[in-house]
């Protein structure tokens, strides 16, 4: 396995992907073809079991060399980790990491012995890859989510854990935990973002965040300027709704005129 996302991040370059919440392989197939570095299937909140995720990765095989399949598993759990990895995930995003101990657990669940305890039974992950066992420990991307005040307080000890490659800020969850839900311009949230970026620079961990195109600190371009490297832009649902909304807005005047004629 060769993980182009991990290579970019280790070189200090930004890597851009998006979030998938619709459980159909056509979604991953079409999005993987557009130029994203990676796609994360949301197994925490989305309708994804191991079978569906397997099909989502199959949908990306045409672009396997340039768009990496990843997953956010529901929890820091060895069963979910190995199910997603065996289905072909080249990296995992682990929710709600708040301590070095939790980060060490994540690394242990993801790595093969002697570095961890992952069982040796890959399916789609090792398809046409005779070197998978030799490369998986080095190439699999481990991303810890920082979603709470405790996680921010313990950021240095979390980032000091060997094997942690990147982090991912969930802005909605973090601001909710801080008591300022979705107030992304709040000084406390801005301070938390800066602390995470600075800690990432100290420990060689790529900071990341879920971003949008809306103005403010979570805007994709603002996040990149701030120093974030592993960034998701919107999601499949956001793209679908935005495109459909724009299409409808383009015919609003015509539809209004038709309505007036009917009333007369």
- pLDDT tens for residues 39-75? 999 999 999 999 999 999 999 998 878 999 999 999 9
Is 203 part of the annotated catalytic residue set?
no
Q: Which domains does the chain have, with CATH numbers?
A: 4-236 (3.20.20.60)
pLDDT for res 256: 55
- pLDDT tens for residues 110-162? 999 999 999 999 999 999 999 999 999 999 999 999 999 999 999 999 999 99
| Candidate list 24, 45, 54, 181, residue with the active-site label | 45
**Calpha distance 231→221 (Å, rounded):** 10
Whether pLDDT at 259 is above 90: no
- Token pair in block for residue 221: 């371009």
Tell me the average pLDDT across 163-178. Answer: 98
**Residues shown for the chain:** 264
- Token pair in block for residue 120: 């040796």
Please provide the DSSP assignment of 181-225 as one string: TT-TT-HHHHHHHHHHHHHHHHHT-B-EEEEBSSSSTTBHHHHHH
Phi, psi torsion values for 67, nearest 5 degrees: -135, 115
Contact call for residues 28 and 35 (beta carbons, < 8 A): no
For a pLDDT cut of 90, what percent of the chain falls above it?
A: 93
Whether pLDDT at 93 is above 70: yes
Owner of token pair 């998986």: 136
Mean pLDDT of the chain: 95
- pTM for this prediction: 0.94
pLDDT band (50, 70, 90) for residue 16: very high
pLDDT band (50, 70, 90) for residue 89: very high
DSSP class of 227: T
For a pLDDT cut of 70, what percent of the chain falls above it?
A: 95
- Token pair in block for residue 103: 């980060």
Give Cα 262 distance to the centre of its chain: 49
pLDDT for res 262: 45
**Upstream peptide bond of 114 is cis (omega within 30 degrees of 0):** yes
């Amino acid at each position: 396995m060769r993980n182009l996302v991990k290579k970019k991040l280790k070189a200090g370059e930004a890597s851009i992907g998006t979030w998938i919440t619709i459980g159909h392989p056509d979604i991953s197939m079409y999005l993987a073809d557009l130029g994203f570095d990676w796609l994360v299937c949301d197994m925490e909140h989305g309708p994804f079991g191991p079978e569906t995720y397997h099909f989502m990765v199959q949908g990306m095989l045409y672009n396997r060399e340039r768009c990496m399949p990843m997953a956010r598993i529901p929890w820091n759990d060895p069963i979910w980790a190995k199910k997603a990895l065996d289905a072909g995930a080249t990296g995992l995003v682990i929710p709600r990491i708040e301590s070095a101990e939790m980060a060490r657990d994540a690394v242990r669940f993801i790595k093969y012995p002697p570095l961890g305890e992952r069982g040796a039974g890959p399916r789609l992950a090792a398809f046409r890859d005779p070197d998978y066992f030799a490369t998986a420990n080095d190439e699999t991307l481990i991303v810890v989510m920082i979603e709470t005040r405790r996680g921010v307080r313990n950021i240095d000890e979390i980032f000091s854990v060997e094997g942690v490659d990147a982090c991912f800020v969930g802005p909605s969850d973090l601001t909710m935990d801080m008591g300022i839900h979705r107030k992304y311009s709040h000084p406390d949230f801005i301070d938390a973002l800066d602390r995470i970026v600075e800690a990432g620079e100290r420990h060689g961990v790529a900071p990341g965040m879920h971003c949008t195109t809306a103005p403010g600190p979570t805007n994709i371009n603002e996040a990149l300027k701030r120093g974030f490297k592993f960034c998701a832009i919107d999601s499949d649902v956001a793209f679908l709704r935005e495109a459909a909304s724009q299409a409808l807005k383009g015919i609003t005047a015509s539809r209004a005129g038709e309505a007036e004629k009917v009333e007369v």
